[in-house]
Every structure is written in structure tokens, then in C-alpha cells.
Amino acid sequence: MSSPNRAELLQMFRTTASEIVEKEFASIEEATKITELGIDSLGMLEIIGSLERQLKIQIPDESLAGLTTVRDLIEAVEKRFKVQS
């Protein structure tokens, strides 16, 4: 699987978040803080689990701690692509 670009990852995050949390997240941008999404930590982990499955990657727990914005998460995903491909 070729590496998706950041715009695609952001779109994937929006879609996945909407599916799992059953709310609309069209207005999310990279700079949006995760705490402002209104998704609890369980919900976030569900979303990450789904992204991992879709992209066939595994994000280690350590790189999840300290994520503040959606950009941080997208960068963590990108990094795994570089490591695993």
C-alpha cells in the first residue's frame, strides 16, 4: 500500500471518527486539539484501532502519549508508515 498523503489521512480521520462516534466531524482541521473533539479516551482508542486496521500499521502506545492535536496523531501515523514500509 502506497503511503497516503496528509490530506488523505485527515479525511480518513474525519470519516473514521464520524463512524465510530456517530457525530459529524467535517470541520476538523489538523490544528484542532484532540480535547476539543468531544471524544473520550476510549473513543479515541477505538478510532486509532480502526485506523490501524485500515492502514495495516501498528502504532505503539508510547507514541500515543502526549498527542495534543489532530496533526500530532497524523504525524504519528505517517511515522509508522515510514518504519513499516
* 3-class secondary-structure state, position 69: strand
Taking the complex as a whole, the smallest distance from the CB of residue 72 to other proteins amounts, in Å, to 9
With a CB cutoff of 8 Å and minimum separation 6, the contacts of 65 are: none
Q: Between 2 and 44, name the residue whose CB sits nearer to other proteins.
A: 44
Among residues 2, 31, 35, 82, the one that binds other proteins under rule CB under 8 A: 35
Among residues 1, 2, 31, 41, the one that binds other proteins under rule CB under 8 A: 41
- Residue 66 makes contact with other proteins by CB under 8 A: yes
Q: Cβ–Cβ contacts within 10 Å for residue 48, how many?
A: 19
